[in-house]
């Protein structure tokens, strides 16, 4: 059994708890949260809740970090230094390589494994993009997200001092170009103009067309559905016009959580170090013996 602890009880964390309880080879040994209350999730009545992972009675093999992206570097390094492997859903694409180097050093120093940028994008989509490039080495791949709620962008918008709550919708415009529709409740004592300025200055939003819209109640707008359509048009050897497509319509936090649980399983099968999902054999994400999986899936 793979002993895991889920860190964080937001949207992804709650699905990670539920999904971990459903896995036959995973044992949930703790939940890390500052909220000292009943989780309200069936099957967690006897699961230990703590504010710090080192306070758990049973030391986990892997910490599944369901926390905001910008909290990942410090928290992951703390877990690794405590001798606990980690899985995170860090989603700032341009900073993944730097984080990977940082966590690789900590993981190897402590004989542990870190899996970074897990989830569906980055994550499972990264694996599909890699496979597409292998099939058609020359060409272009366009990743079109949505329409749907972006958790990372929503958290980033909500973190602004002038914002009480936020929902960021990703609208695909085609050829990998997106529009961000950011709906906000303005914090009391702040103005819409202040909130808009803070959001547009953030690295999550400053590279895309972004519209900030004030609303009365964010909860009336929330829908955790999302999706992706990837298309690659390329060349295999000397054969042109190879067109590859991949479509997925999902519940965003549920799939993110499932890929993180699968990554926790994979983490126990790797040598010490830090890995992105494309660096791990895909068979290692799946429950079962490798020979049996090869027989069934190949």
Query: Residue 33 belongs to a domain with what CATH number?
Result: 3.40.50.720
Q: Is residue 150 part of a domain?
A: yes
Q: Is residue 244 part of a domain?
A: no
Q: Provide the pairing of β-strand 163-174 with 148-149.
A: antiparallel
- 15 and 118 share one domain: yes
Containing structural domain, residue 36: 2-122+252-297
- 83 and 161 share one domain: no
**Tokens 């993009």 found at:** 129
- 205 and 117 share one domain: no
Burial class of 187 by CB neighbour count within 10 A (0 to 12, 13 to 18, 19+): middle
DSSP-assigned letters across all residues of 201-254? TSTTTTTSEEEEEE-S-GGGT---EEEEEEEEEEEETTEEEEEEEEEEEEEHHH
Q: Is residue 19 part of a domain?
A: yes
Q: Is residue 134 part of a domain?
A: no
Burial class of 193 by CB neighbour count within 10 A (0 to 12, 13 to 18, 19+): exposed
How many structural domains comprise the chain?
Answer: 2
Q: What is the mean pLDDT of each run of 10 residues along the chain (298 residues)?
A: 97 97 98 84 93 96 97 98 98 96 98 98 98 98 96 95 98 96 98 98 95 97 96 98 98 97 98 98 97 97
DSSP-assigned letters across all residues of 115-127? E-S-SBTTBHHHH
Helix axes 72-81, 96-109, angle to 10 degrees: 10
- 99 and 188 share one domain: no
- 37 and 109 share one domain: yes
Q: What's the pLDDT score for residue 89?
A: 97
- 117 and 256 share one domain: yes
Q: What's the pLDDT score for residue 38?
A: 75
Give how far the C-alpha of residue 237 lies from the chain's centroid of Cα atoms, to the nearest Å.
Answer: 34
Residue numbers belonging to the annotated binding site for NADP(+)? 33-35, 66-69, 118-122
- 190 and 113 share one domain: no
Residue numbers belonging to the annotated binding site for substrate? 170, 180, 226, 252
Q: What's the pLDDT score for residue 39?
A: 86
What CATH number is attached to the domain comprising 221? 3.30.360.10
**Tokens 């409740």 found at:** 185
Cis status, amide bond into 20, omega within 30 of 0: no
Q: How far is CA 207 from CA 90, 145, 229, in A?
A: 18, 15, 20
HSE, CB side, 13 Å, CA atoms: give it for residue 274. Answer: 24
- 42 and 95 share one domain: yes
- Residues present in the chain in total: 298
Q: Is residue 196 part of a domain?
A: yes
3-state DSSP assignment of residue 35: coil
Question: Across the strands, what pairs with 282?
Answer: none
- 83 and 8 share one domain: yes
* Among candidate residues 188, 187, 138, 184, the one with its CA nearest the CA of residue 157: 184
Q: What's the pLDDT score for residue 70?
A: 94
pTM passes above 0.85: yes
Domain termination site, one of 226, 260, 281? 226
Q: What's the pLDDT score for residue 35?
A: 79
Domain termination site, one of 226, 244, 270? 226
Task: List alpha helices for 29-175, DSSP H.
Answer: 72-81, 96-109, 124-135, 151-158
Residue numbers belonging to the annotated binding site? 33-35, 66-69, 118-122, 170, 180, 226, 252
- 174 and 266 share one domain: no
- 53 and 150 share one domain: no
**Tokens 């914002």 found at:** 163
The C-alpha angle 141, 253, 103, rounded to 5 degrees, equals: 70
- 116 and 28 share one domain: yes
Q: Is residue 269 part of a domain?
A: yes
Q: Is residue 130 part of a domain?
A: no
Q: Is residue 239 part of a domain?
A: no
């Amino acid at each position: 059994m793979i002993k895991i602890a889920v860190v964080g009880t937001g949207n992804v964390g709650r699905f990670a708890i539920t999904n971990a309880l459903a896995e036959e080879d995973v044992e949930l040994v703790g939940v890390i949260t500052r909220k000292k209350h009943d989780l309200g999730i069936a099957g967690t009545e006897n699961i230990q809740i703590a504010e710090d992972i080192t306070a758990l009675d049973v030391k986990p093999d892997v910490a599944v970090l369901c926390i905001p992206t910008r909290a990942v570097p410090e928290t992951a390094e703390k877990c690794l230094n405590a001798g606990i492997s980690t899985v995170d859903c860090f989603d700032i694409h341009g900073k993944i390589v730097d984080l990977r180097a940082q966590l690789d050093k900590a993981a190897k120093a402590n004989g542990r494994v870190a899996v970074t940028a897990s989830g569906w994008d980055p994550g499972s989509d990264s694996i599909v993009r890699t496979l597409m490039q292998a099939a058609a080495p020359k060409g272009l791949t366009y990743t079109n997200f949505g329409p749907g709620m972006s958790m990372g962008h929503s958290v980033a918008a909500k973190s602004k001092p002038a914002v009480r709550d936020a929902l960021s919708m990703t609208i695909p415009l085609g050829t990998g170009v997106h529009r961000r529709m950011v709906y906000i409740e303005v914090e009391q004592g702040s103005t819409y103009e202040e909130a808009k300025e803070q959001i547009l200055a953030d690295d999550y939003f400053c590279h895309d067309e972004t519209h900030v819209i004030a609303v009365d109640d964010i909860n009336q707008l929330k829908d955790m559905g999302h999706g992706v359509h990837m298309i690659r048009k390329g060349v295999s050897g000397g054969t042109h016009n190879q067109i590859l497509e991949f479509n997925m319509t999902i519940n965003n936090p549920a799939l993110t959580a499932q890929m993180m649980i699968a990554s926790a399983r994979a983490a126990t099968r790797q040598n010490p170090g830090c890995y992105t999902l494309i660096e791990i054999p895909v068979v290692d994400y799946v429950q079962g013996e490798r020979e049996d999986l090869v027989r069934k899936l190949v």
